[in-house]
Each structure stands twice: as structure tokens, then as C-alpha cells.
Amino acid sequence: MLLVWSVIKILVMIGFVFNVAALLTWVDRRQSAMIQDRIGPNRAVLKIGKFELRVAGLLHTAADGVKFFFKEDFMPPNADKLLFSLAPILAMTPVLALLAVIPFGDVLCTGRDLVMIAPRFGMCVANAKSGVQPIDMMVAPLNVGLLYVFALAGQGIVGAAIAGWSSDNKFSLMGALRAASQMVSYEVAMGLSLIGAMMIYSTIRLDEMVRWQAENSWGIFVQPVAFFLFFTAAVAENKRIPFDLPEAESELVSGYFTEYSGMKFGMFYFAEYMEVCTSSMLLVTIFLGGWSLPFIHRDGLSISFGDAVLVQQPLLHYGVEILGVLAFFGKTLVVCWFQAFVRWSLPRFRYDQLMNLGWKALLPAALANLFVTGIVLLLVDNGGPQVAAAFKVLGDVSQAVVAIAITTGVVMLVVGMFGRRKHRQSLVGSSAKYAEELGGVKETPMQA
């Protein structure tokens, strides 16, 4: 039975990441078109008689996949054939390996009683007579969860470095050098930002971090500086704009994968979008409550502020579990969308600006956050029960703020999807305004 559950969990995580990564390739095209007021992806079409099916540009993703399979697998004559072929594998493998320790739900207590209500605190204990069996909603429930993340997070850059070095191309080598130096500049700040979270949660297990947030407050409220530091470092690790220096098209053609084509290029291309998804999962787990939702616990809905309980409603354990899984994947999709929004909203940094940001801004901010976190923890520990009760009320208030924000966001999404878009013409810049006042720009016939 445990083997079956392990296979199911692997299929859920890999299936979600692969499908979201494919969807993100469409989001990049479609969202950039909406931001820049362009038509967007509309060329891929499926014709059935006189009927044309475009599916809002989603067929472009399928066309990309087919194209990679049929493109020529080119290899430079002087390239290191072993390392050149190994680099795409090294780029994709760590991304998939990270999925093993990311929890996408609370412990599932399986048993014959489908109306069972799980305990709010503690774990359900395995019982052969009653058929109760606790199932961790992660592939590998390791006790060193966050250390495992640290060990693998920087391995993806090894693939980029090897790809650039083995390609026998100066642009690729320059991209590999940029990737290696970029990793050093942001990995230190990323690690230090998470140490503050570990001090608050008093654990390195990702599932225990989520349980702490469910009972107290989301990590974004207790570690706001660490959240923004981690998000910035995660975008840099994905090598996307504004941190896409290793593959800058205007400077290095395509950087470390300039010489790659066919499915080898497809693996680099797809690994980047998979990194967006896995980094979003980590961000959700550590700072955005993971699978938890405000006031919803294992035993049901419980709205309380301090010691005052306003609502207490038991819910089915399986229903709470399904709701938690949907909440985790829903939060991940929102963070993925936000990363795509950042990618099409900011210009690329210069290389020296990136180095200055990593060493002169992110690193000092991470050290300062670590120092302040230690002082606050000492004050809370020595403040007595009154301080602890005050922080408990603040945590409940933050949960209420999150509940209101989620409800408002869902309502705005539904209204936006079914509402009609209004196109408004706006003049940007004094030259456009001056031309409009003079009657507009007159079009002249094109001349050969």
C-alpha cells in the first residue's frame, strides 16, 4: 500500500511540474502580449474543415514540443562530446530531485472510517486493527528537508557551467562564467535569508514549517525581509529577466546554450520553467503557509482571536486534506504567474549592477534580518505569557487579513474573467501629446 501511495505522490508532483512548466511557456507569450498591447500567440491553428481552433494560443506549446523532437541535434566539432551531452541532464535532474521533500498536503490519515476527524495537534497513529495508516503528502519525508534543498538548489548551475565550457564557443564560455559568478552572489543571501525562518520555526523540516504557520502566522508576516530576499534570489537562480545575464540574447547570442539544438536545447528551455515552478513551491511552503488556509485546521474550521473562539465547525478529514492540496497548488500557480509578471516588467540589469545587488544589497540585508530576528526572539522568550498572548492575537489578525485578501482576489478574478475589457487610448510622452494637438501624424504612401 505504501508503494502505491509513493507512486501516486511522484506522479502528482512530476505531473504538476511538467504541465505547469508547459503552461508557463504559453503564459510568457500571452502575458507579455497583454502587457505590451500585442496580439500574442495566434499562429498555431488546428483546422477541421472550415473550422479553426486556436485555443488562445495554447497550441504553440504543443508545437514547441513537436518541434524539439524533429530538430537536428547539432554538436560543435571541437566540443567535449561527453560533457556537452551530459550538461542538459545536469540542468534538469536537480529540479526534479527537489520535488522529493516539498510537502503538498498535510498528513493523510487513511482508514475504513471515511467520516473520521483527524486530531488538530499531533499525528494519527498507525493501527492495523482499525486500518488507520498515516501517509505523508511528500515523496520523501526527510528530517533534513531544508538542508537537502540547499544541497540541490545550486546544482543546476553546474549544468550551465559545463554546457558553456564544453561548447567550444566564446559566447557560451562567457555565459558559463556569468552563471557561476551569479550563483555565488545570490546563493549566500538566499541561505542567510532562510536561517531567519529556521530560527522562527525551530525546525528544518518543510512540513513542520507549514504546521507552525497554520497555528501562528504565515512566514511572510514574521519574516517579510527574508521573503523578498528569497524571492529575488529565486528569480536570479532561474536565470530569468532581470537576472538573465548567463543567456543575454543582446550580448551573448544565447549564452551557455548557444550551441545547443533539438531536445538538448529543449531540456535547458524546459528546466528553466520547471525551476520557476519548484522555486514557487518552496516560496509557498516556507513563507505563504504551504497547504494551510486561514482558520482551517485538521479538525475543521476554527475562527478565533486569542482565547476568544468565534466559530467552531468540524469538517471531514478527507475534505480538509483535498482543500489543502488544492490550496498549495493554487498558491504555487499564483506565485508562478507573479514571476512571469516580473519577467515582463523589469529591464535586464548590467553585470556589474547584478554583482553590486548581490554583495552590497542582498547580503547586508540578509545579515541585518538575521540580527534583528535573533533580538526579537530573545525579547519574546523573556517577555513572559503576556507578550506571547499579544503575538498570538497578532497572528490571528494576520490570518484574518489573509482570508480577506484571498476572498477579494477570488472575487476580482471571477469578475475580471467574465467582465468586458475596455480599450482606452493613452498618450505617453510629450512628443505624442504635441503631435496629437497638431492633428495627429499623417501617414504617407510607402515608397520603394
Q: What is the pLDDT of residues 181-208, one digit of tens each?
A: 777 778 888 888 888 888 888 888 888 8
Between residues 428 and 418, the one the model is more confident about: 418
Q: Which of 317, 310, 316 is nearest to 295 (CA)?
A: 310
Q: Is residue 357 assigned to a domain?
A: yes
Q: Which residues contact 303 (CB under 8 A, 6 or more apart)?
A: 295, 309, 310, 311, 312
Predicted confidence (pLDDT) per residue in 204-236, tens digit: 888 888 888 888 888 888 889 999 888 888 888
Question: CA 442, 443, 445, 448 torsion: positive or negative?
Answer: positive
Query: Residues 33, 40: contact at Cβ < 8 Å?
Result: yes
> How far apart (Å, rounded) are the C-alpha atoms in residues 10 and 326?
17
Q: Is the pLDDT of residue 104 over 50?
A: yes
What value does the mean pLDDT take over residues 293-322? Answer: 80
**Predicted TM-score of the model (pTM):** 0.83
Query: Residues 334, 302: contact at Cβ < 8 Å?
Result: no
DSSP state, residue 425: -
Predicted confidence (pLDDT) per residue in 82-91, tens digit: 888 888 888 8
Neighbours of 127 (CB within 10 A): 11
Q: Is residue 432 assigned to a domain?
A: no
Is residue 332 very low, low, confident or very high in pLDDT (cuts 50, 70, 90)? very high
Q: Is residue 37 assigned to a domain?
A: no
Q: Is residue 148 assigned to a domain?
A: yes
DSSP 194-255: HHHHHHHHT---HHHHHHHHHHS--HHHH-HHHHHHHHHHHHHHTT-TTS-GGG-HHHHTTG
Is residue 72 very low, low, confident or very high in pLDDT (cuts 50, 70, 90)? confident
Is residue 389 very low, low, confident or very high in pLDDT (cuts 50, 70, 90)? confident
Q: Is residue 53 assigned to a domain?
A: no
Q: Is the pLDDT of residue 130 over 70?
A: no
Q: Is the pLDDT of residue 127 over 70?
A: no
Top-confidence range, 50-59, 104-113, 118-127, 340-349? 340-349
What value does the mean pLDDT take over residues 9-14? Answer: 89
Is residue 329 very low, low, confident or very high in pLDDT (cuts 50, 70, 90)? very high
Predicted confidence (pLDDT) per residue in 402-417, tens digit: 888 888 888 887 777 7
Q: At what angle do helices 81-98 and 145-153 cross, to 10 degrees?
A: 150
Question: What pLDDT does 448 receive?
Answer: 46
Question: What pLDDT does 55 receive?
Answer: 75
Neighbours of 154 (CB within 10 A): 16
> How far apart (Å, rounded) are the C-alpha atoms in residues 288 and 235?
17
Predicted confidence (pLDDT) per residue in 264-306, tens digit: 888 888 888 888 889 899 999 999 888 888 888 887 788 877 7
Q: Is residue 10 assigned to a domain?
A: no
Top-confidence range, 138-147, 199-208, 242-251, 380-389? 199-208
Which amino acid appears at position 177 of this protein?
L
**How many structural domains does the chain have?**
1
Is residue 246 very low, low, confident or very high in pLDDT (cuts 50, 70, 90)? confident
Q: Is residue 125 assigned to a domain?
A: no
| Residue linked to cell 500585442 | 38
Question: What percentage of the chain has pLDDT greater than the value 90?
Answer: 3
What value does the mean pLDDT take over residues 157-174? Answer: 81
Which range of residues forms the domain containing residue 235?
Answer: 82-104+138-415
Q: Is residue 340 assigned to a domain?
A: yes
> How far apart (Å, rounded) are the C-alpha atoms in residues 441 and 434?
10
- Report the range of poorest mean pLDDT among 132-141, 244-253, 387-396: 244-253
